[in-house]
Amino acid sequence: MRFASKVWKLLVAVKDAMALLFLLMFFGLVYAALSARPAPGRVEDGALLLELDGTVVEEKSQSDPIALLMGAGGSVHEFQARDIERALLLAAKDQRIKVVVLDLSRFLGGRYIHLHDIGEAIDEVRKAGKPVLTFANAYADDGVLLAAHASEAWVDPMGGAFVTGPGGNLQFYKGLFDKFKVNAHVYRVGTYKSAVEPYMRTDLSPEAREDLQFVLDAQWNAYRADIAKARPKAQLDRMTGDPVAWLKLSGGDIAQAGKAAGLIDRIGDKTEFENRVEDIAGESAQAHPGEDAPDYAHTGLATWLAANPVKEEGAAIGVVTIAGEIVDGDAGPGTAGGDRIARLLDENLDAGKYKALVVRIDSPGGSVMASERIRRAILRWKAAKIPVVVSMGSMAASGGYWVSTPGQRVFAEPATVTGSIGVFAVITSFEKTLADFGVTSDGVGTTPLSGQPDLFAGLTPAVDGMLQTSVESNYARFLDVVGKARGKTALQVDAIAQGRVWPGAEAQHNGLVDQMGGLGDALTYAAKLGKVGNGKWHAAYLEEDPDPFAAFVEGLTSGSQEQATAYDFAGLVATRQQLQAGQAVSRLDALLGVKGVQAYCLECGMEPDYRQSAKAPERGPGVAMLLRLAGWK
């Protein structure tokens, strides 16, 4: 028995040693993969292939490696708009690129400002005498906008192209709250501060409807003008005016109807499209990873960007990006965590290194506390005598406008959504709901604030009054901050505030914005303020080093793109519907979650945020209770 026991211990020891050895080898390989500088792939003379199988964003979010390994979230690819623009502009000047191909088969879209800028970059490629071809199984609004700039827009015979225009429906929860007797305590300032209306009304107020229609009309007019400029013969109004009659004229064939409307040039399947590209680019002479790699000579986006690193010549103009909802803490990138962005600004504050700072904003706002934290960090750059210029992207509203106020010059684009100067807070309690189930509350306290706020017993008049006073105080501070930045009195700001949103052009008219222009215009102006003169300069983005492990895991798990699959018209509609459902739950969770006073723009949420809705929301205690009462899991 002793001999058998010793043999068993020896076998266990060998097993443990082998397991340890394999673990060491595994982590050694992971470390080597993370530490090695990836060698850029070889650029092949032929086509630049941009497979946009996801969504275009201002700033890519960082994937959670654990969630990726567990198969949760992160399945929608993100492409930074500036990366695509740079790739296109490089292709226009590089003799190795004969044609640019945009594969939009699984394109989920992006905000108008980003797509407009990408469209202008496509125009530069065409001006250089190089064709740009697009292919999709089904084009929706965003895909149609990009395809309008192409020299040849292809669609599968079973697909089509259609435009719906901006707008849609919002969900209102008052009826749900009334049904379960949930008490939504709403505190706000501003006639137009409509972000709280879904929780206190069953429909839009007349003021909110007017405000929203004003902004959407501006966006729609900008979109139509873009299409008309790129394709003068396109019959967009005919399509959107009576879509059923338009479709019937082509016998119900959406592909033929799209071609008849001038939005599509050629109808053919993927094989026919690739044969057409091969006629221009030539046949590939090298092997490409992936079974679905086309046979024509091409270079992918990642390889192309790696082979053309950004040149950091001349003076540095710092760029800090405030993208997504502004929240307290270290969230992001892709979400504007106040602590994270303030830390980036403070760690890079160097008057000798940066000639100026450009604050790039693409945010609907959020936490007042986080917005003020970011604003103060920007002010520290101004105190160091570094010029500050603001560039507004698709939106810089509410808290997004709050952080713009330190700018010495504020740039926006005509379709930018800005303003929404107003604040609110929402706290829910369940005292009436629980009473129906026989649950009551009673207790003792030492002051009117003891045990408050109470989720189960409700709020006392003292707490109720304090919350409203706090919101009013924050609104007064908002007016003061804007007034000092824009040279206006608080009363003058209040006249254009009250939570009202403004398109960029109108914001310039009422003094909230200084000049129309994009990020490039803002950078040029910042270089001028920084007294660069005729010398060279470059944009230096203030970013944290990416997590190499997350990037490694993302590379291992890439390819699972079920949520980005839309092979025909019905498939595209179903994909958007699925993502919309996730976004609706996220909005409800935003109400019942733990948040302080907010400066957030409801109108900015009309455009689907595919990045956020693709992720399963974390349910707070309030939404969990409400869903259980409703019988939902």
Same domain, 378 and 470: yes
> Side-chain half-sphere of 231: how many Cα atoms within 13 Å?
26
Q: Which of 483, 509, 541 is a domain's end point?
A: 541
pLDDT at residue 483 is higher than 50: yes
Task: Calculate the CA 224 to chain-centre distance.
Answer: 22
- Please, where are the H alpha helices in 36-80? 65-69
> Side-chain half-sphere of 593: how many Cα atoms within 13 Å?
15
Q: Which of 277, 307, 337 is a domain's end point?
A: 307
Same domain, 478 and 377: yes
Does residue 194 lie within any of the structural domains?
no
What does the pLDDT average to over 192-216?
84
pLDDT at residue 38 is higher than 80: no
Same domain, 299 and 322: no
pLDDT band, residue 446 (cuts 50/70/90): confident
Same domain, 399 and 289: no
Can you read off the two tokens belonging to residue 64? 């959670």
Same domain, 290 and 357: no
The predicted structure's pLDDT at residue 276 = 96
For the chain, how many structural domains are there in total?
A: 2
The predicted structure's pLDDT at residue 201 = 87
Catalytic residue of the set 98, 193, 355, 595: 193
Question: d(Cα 566, Cα 104) in Å, to the nearest integer?
Answer: 10
Catalytic residue of the set 75, 363, 367, 398: 398
What does the pLDDT average to over 304-332?
92
Closest CA to 440 of 448, 451, 432, 428: 432
Same domain, 87 and 123: yes
Same domain, 294 and 322: no
φ, ψ at 602 (rounded to 5°): -65, -40
pLDDT (tens digit, 9 = 90+) per residue, 83-100? 999 999 999 999 999 999
Contacts of 249 by beta carbon, 8 Å cutoff, 6+ apart: 257, 260
Does residue 278 lie within any of the structural domains?
yes
Does residue 402 lie within any of the structural domains?
yes
Closest CA to 357 of 387, 400, 393: 387
Can you read off the two tokens belonging to residue 341? 């962005």
Task: Calculate the CA 284 to chain-centre distance.
Answer: 35
Residue 419, strand partner residues: 397, 501
Question: d(Cα 120, Cα 92) in Å, to the nearest integer?
Answer: 12
Task: Calculate the CA 264 to chain-centre distance.
Answer: 28
Question: d(Cα 323, Cα 519) in Å, to the nearest integer?
Answer: 14
The predicted structure's pLDDT at residue 75 = 58
pLDDT at residue 383 is higher than 90: yes
Question: d(Cα 520, Cα 525) in Å, to the nearest integer?
Answer: 9
Peptide bond into 333 cis (omega under 30): yes
Name the maximum alpha-carbon separation found in the chain: 94
The predicted structure's pLDDT at residue 615 = 46
CA distances from 588 to 203, 224, 331, 383, 453 (A): 16, 33, 20, 41, 20
The predicted structure's pLDDT at residue 131 = 97
Does residue 155 lie within any of the structural domains?
yes
What does the pLDDT average to over 403-421?
95
pLDDT at residue 15 is higher than 70: no
What does the pLDDT average to over 177-196?
79
pLDDT band, residue 619 (cuts 50/70/90): very low
State the DSSP H helix or E strand holding residue 581, giving kind and residue range, or none if neither. Answer: helix 569-592
φ, ψ at 337 (rounded to 5°): -70, 120
pLDDT at residue 608 is higher than 70: no
Same domain, 303 and 240: yes
Peptide bond into 38 cis (omega under 30): no
Contacts of 200 by beta carbon, 8 Å cutoff, 6+ apart: 174, 184, 186
Check if the beta carbon of residue 401 is closer than 8 Å to that of residue 482: yes
The predicted structure's pLDDT at residue 6 = 60
Contacts of 218 by beta carbon, 8 Å cutoff, 6+ apart: 414, 415, 503, 505, 506
Number of other residues whose CB lies within 10 A of the CB of residue 439: 12
Does residue 210 lie within any of the structural domains?
no
Does 179 or 265 have the greater pLDDT score? Answer: 265
What does the pLDDT average to over 88-117?
94
Same domain, 72 and 155: yes
Check if the beta carbon of residue 429 is closer than 8 Å to that of residue 233: no
CATH of the domain at 368: 3.90.226.10
Same domain, 263 and 340: no
Does residue 270 lie within any of the structural domains?
yes
Same domain, 293 and 325: no
pLDDT band, residue 143 (cuts 50/70/90): very high
pLDDT at residue 7 is higher than 90: no
Please name the amino acid found at residue 62: Q
pTM of the model: 0.85
Check if the beta carbon of residue 236 is closer than 8 Å to that of residue 227: yes
Q: Domain span at residue 72?
A: 46-163+231-307
The predicted structure's pLDDT at residue 465 = 86
pLDDT at residue 385 is higher than 80: yes
Active site residue 130: no
Check if the beta carbon of residue 136 is closer than 8 Å to that of residue 146: no
Task: Calculate the CA 91 to chain-centre distance.
Answer: 26
At 139 the three-state DSSP class reads strand
pLDDT at residue 36 is higher than 50: no
pLDDT band, residue 627 (cuts 50/70/90): low
- The per-residue DSSP string of 435-497 comes to HHTT-------SSTTTT-SBTTTB--HHHHHHHHHHHHHHHHHHHHHHHHHHT--HHHHHHH-
pLDDT at residue 24 is higher than 50: yes
- The per-residue DSSP string of 510-573 comes to TTS--EE--HHHHHHHHHHHTT-TTS-EEEEE--PPP-HHHHHHHHHHTT--GGG---SHHHHH
CA distances from 12 to 9, 18, 19, 21, 23 (A): 5, 10, 10, 14, 16
- The per-residue DSSP string of 218-258 comes to HHHHHHHHHHHHH-TT--HHHHHHSHHHHHHTTTT-HHHHH
Average pLDDT value for the chain: 83
**Helices 368-383 and 338-347: crossing angle, nearest 10°?**
10
Can you read off the two tokens belonging to residue 249? 């004229």
| Dihedral sign (CA 486, 489, 494, 495) | negative
Cβ neighbourhood burial of 571 (10 Å; 0-12, 13-18, 19+): middle
pLDDT at residue 455 is higher than 50: yes
Q: Which of 307, 327, 351 is a domain's end point?
A: 307
pLDDT band, residue 294 (cuts 50/70/90): confident
Question: d(Cα 248, Cα 33) in Å, to the nearest integer?
Answer: 56
Question: d(Cα 209, Cα 173) in Å, to the nearest integer?
Answer: 17
Check if the beta carbon of residue 139 is closer than 8 Å to that of residue 162: yes
Does residue 215 lie within any of the structural domains?
no
pLDDT (tens digit, 9 = 90+) per residue, 524-535? 999 999 999 888
The predicted structure's pLDDT at residue 563 = 45
Contacts of 575 by beta carbon, 8 Å cutoff, 6+ apart: 108, 563, 564, 565, 566
Same domain, 281 and 382: no
| Dihedral sign (CA 389, 393, 397, 400) | negative
pLDDT (tens digit, 9 = 90+) per residue, 532-581? 988 899 999 998 876 655 555 555 444 444 444 445 666 666 666 666 66
Active site residue 193: yes
State the DSSP H helix or E strand holding residue 78, giving kind and residue range, or none if neither. Answer: strand 77-80
Does residue 332 lie within any of the structural domains?
yes
